[in-house]
Chain A
Amino acid sequence: MSAYGALTAASYRASVRDRTTVFFTFAFPLIFLVVFGLIFRGKTVEASGRGYIDYIAPGVLSWGVGNAAVFGVAFTLMQWRRDDLLRLVRMTPTPLTSVLASRYVIALVVGAVQAALFIGVALLPPFGLRLDATWPLALPVLVCGITAFLAIGMVIGSRADTPEAVAAVANCVMVPMAFLSGSFYPLDAMPSWLRSVSKVLPLGYLNDGVAKAVTGRADLASTAVACGGLAVFALVFGVLALKTFRWSNES
């Protein structure tokens, strides 16, 4: 087995053997879906005439996927460094890219399962999400989104040395961003300045791209804008992640 394959298998096993974390990774966004779905049941957004669920579902999904990508890699890097596991890897001829690539593939799989489960539940009658034919355009946006948030998580995991610090920093980044990017309520119903703010946040691009695909307002151009925006964040934070990466807490 290659070093990349071995690290991916080790990460996969560590993940699925931790039932609690697995459960909440997938249940967390669903809880939000249920809460908001019931609050806004049957209501429509005046500006577009579509149900609230069509806005809430892509927003909560985007946030849930981003959240899982950030927390997953941040906790793993912090823990591997704290346990001296990265030092072990450092003493083998395993390139850093294999370490990061194994986390990347895990994040993509987690994101895919999250998305499938979430959309499946949202389509059920109590929530009544309507998927438009353009929904496959959400896939490249989700991939770019996971990449960007993974890079953000890598920076957090490389700087924070304790689980408490990871949770504090990641929550500080993700919770305000959810509100400023319209994950929990439609931006169309918000003041225009908030819509401008969402344009400088990665979650804004992820929300927008996924929402447009799901509600049939997406085309190749809008998808390219969402993916492009996320790619810029992925690149900036990816470079930052490589600069801040540490094999051990001491150096």
Chain B
Amino acid sequence: MTQKKPTGQAAGPALVLEGVRKRYGDKQALDGITLTVERGEFFGVLGPNGAGKTTLVEIMEGLRRADSGSLSVLGASPWPRNMALLPRIGVQTQSSAFFTRLTAREHLATVAALYGADPAGVERTLSLVGLAEQGGVRVEVLSGGQRQRLAIASALVHEPELIFLDEPTAALDPQARRALWQVLRALKGAGRTIVYTTHHLDEAEALCDRVAIVVAGAVVALDSPGKLVGAAKAPTRLLVPADRITVERARAFEGVDRVVAEGGSVVLETRAAGPVLAALGEAVGLDGVRTRTATLEDVYLELTGELTGSEPHA
């Protein structure tokens, strides 16, 4: 039973999708998805529920067949079930997918054996996801966060080259979430490719090299979080303590687009943060003034709001 080590960065992109379409009945779930994920890249798939993220990822994993378009995963086709490709891919399972009445360690050892992987990976992976002390606990009595970490461990135990994670931090508390970020960064550092879906946009911004925002079965934005935020030209928000300035006075500054009073602050929205800050400093001083630049969340809400016809985020 030999362990398959990642074969390095040389052999072309991890994922290539061209014009991938999928229809369920009269619903077009995916309407021509084209994207490439490079090896070693940390790639986020974002989008509202029902946008087609799950279908897209399941097609990449080889669990579903695309109606049309072409798809290459680590240089091979994932459909039909590709036995040579499967050990090179790791998929976070549902948090229900545990072998009944086994302990966390026994479950993970079973998964390792199903992959034909080195049993030594079991303890290493349990420690990696912070479950070393829960190894002897039955899967039924693990907490929600522990179950989620065990589900993530199932994707890592055989040291795959390409890792698919589905909202991996959804059930985690803030400490466990940050701990998992470290794990994911280390995996990326080791040259693994990670494709993951999330609703935590701060997390996507912190971790992802690039993100694809999927709305109604199509990619509406695809770039690094930084470039997406920069290109959106969303306003910067300057929060001034309300006892220092009135809304009327704030409106008088040149370059201020909008002023609102919010939770003890007067909020100035501007696309010329530099000059406004300078003027503000002269007029009332900058003590206690906070600056909120646009985030990926602003871009996301703008894009998904427009395209789903709902009210864009103010």
Q: A143-178 CB contact bits vs B (8 Å, 1 = yes)?
A: 000000000000000000000000000000000000
**B111–A88 touching, CB < 8 Å:** yes
Interchain CA distance A95-B81 in the complex, whole Å? 10
List residues of B (73-110) whose CB comes within 8 Å of A's CBs.
Answer: 81, 83-84, 86-87, 89, 91, 93-94, 96-102, 106-107, 109-110
State the Cβ distance, A17 to closest chain B Cβ, in Å. 4
A220 contacts across to B, CB distance below 8 A: none
**B100–A14 touching, CB < 8 Å:** yes
**Given A91-B91, A92-B111; A84-B96 close (CB under 8 Å):** yes
**B63–A87 touching, CB < 8 Å:** yes
B61 CB-CB contact with A under 8 Å = yes
State the Cβ distance, B179 to closest chain A Cβ, in Å. 24
Interchain CA distance A94-B94 in the complex, whole Å? 19
**Given A79-B100, A84-B96, A85-B98; A90-B63 close (CB under 8 Å):** yes
**Given A3-B113, A17-B101; A88-B106 close (CB under 8 Å):** no
Interchain CA distance A90-B81 in the complex, whole Å? 8
**Given A3-B114, A87-B63; A93-B100 close (CB under 8 Å):** no
Question: Which of A5-13, A41-49, A112-120, A126-134 has 4 or more CB atoms under 8 Å from chain B?
Answer: A5-13
**A89–B94 touching, CB < 8 Å:** no
Taking CB as reference atom, which chain A residue is nearest B155? A91
Interchain CA distance A95-B114 in the complex, whole Å? 9
**A9–B110 touching, CB < 8 Å:** yes
A1 CB-CB contact with B under 8 Å = yes
Most buried by A among B89, B94, B106, B113: B113
A83 CB-CB contact with B under 8 Å = yes
**B91–A5 touching, CB < 8 Å:** no
Interchain CA distance A101-B139 in the complex, whole Å? 25
- Inter-chain contact total with CB atoms closer than 8 Å: 78
Taking CB as reference atom, which chain B residue is nearest A96? B81
Contact among B87, B93, B110 for A7, CB-based, below 8 A: B110
Contact among B91, B97, B101, B109 for A6, CB-based, below 8 A: B109
**A89–B114 touching, CB < 8 Å:** yes
B119 CB-CB contact with A under 8 Å = yes
**B86–A84 touching, CB < 8 Å:** no
State the Cβ distance, A246 to closest chain B Cβ, in Å. 12
State the Cβ distance, A65 to closest chain B Cβ, in Å. 23
Interchain CA distance A13-B109 in the complex, whole Å? 13
State the Cβ distance, A18 to closest chain B Cβ, in Å. 6
State the Cβ distance, B166 to closest chain A Cβ, in Å. 11
A97 CB-CB contact with B under 8 Å = no
Instruction: Count residues of chain B with CB under 8 A from any CB of chain A.
Output: 31
Contact among A5, A83, A90 for B113, CB-based, below 8 A: A5
**Given A1-B119, A10-B106, A87-B63; A92-B97 close (CB under 8 Å):** no
State the Cβ distance, A245 to closest chain B Cβ, in Å. 13
B154 CB-CB contact with A under 8 Å = yes
A20 CB-CB contact with B under 8 Å = no
Q: B9-31 CB contact bits vs A (8 Å, 1 = yes)?
A: 00000000000000000000000
**A92–B114 touching, CB < 8 Å:** yes
A18 contacts across to B, CB distance below 8 A: 101
**Given A90-B63, A91-B89; A85-B102 close (CB under 8 Å):** no
Most buried by B among A6, A87, A95, A251: A6
**B101–A88 touching, CB < 8 Å:** no
Most buried by B among A2, A89, A91, A94: A91
Q: A1-38 CB contact bits vs B (8 Å, 1 = yes)?
A: 11101110110011001100000000000000000000
Interchain CA distance A18-B102 in the complex, whole Å? 11
A251 contacts across to B, CB distance below 8 A: 64
State the Cβ distance, A233 to closest chain B Cβ, in Å. 29
Contact among B61, B62, B102, B113 for A14, CB-based, below 8 A: B102
B97 contacts across to A, CB distance below 8 A: 83-85, 87-88
Contact among B83, B91, B94, B102 for A10, CB-based, below 8 A: B102
**B110–A6 touching, CB < 8 Å:** yes
Interchain CA distance A85-B96 in the complex, whole Å? 8
Given contacts A7-B114, A90-B63, 12 further A-B contacts (CB under 8 A): A3-B113, A3-B114, A6-B110, A9-B110, A13-B102, A83-B96, A84-B94, A84-B96, A84-B97, A91-B63, A91-B89, A93-B115
10 A/B residue pairs, CB under 8 Å, sorted by A: A1-B113, A14-B101, A18-B101, A83-B94, A87-B97, A91-B63, A91-B89, A92-B86, A93-B114, A248-B63
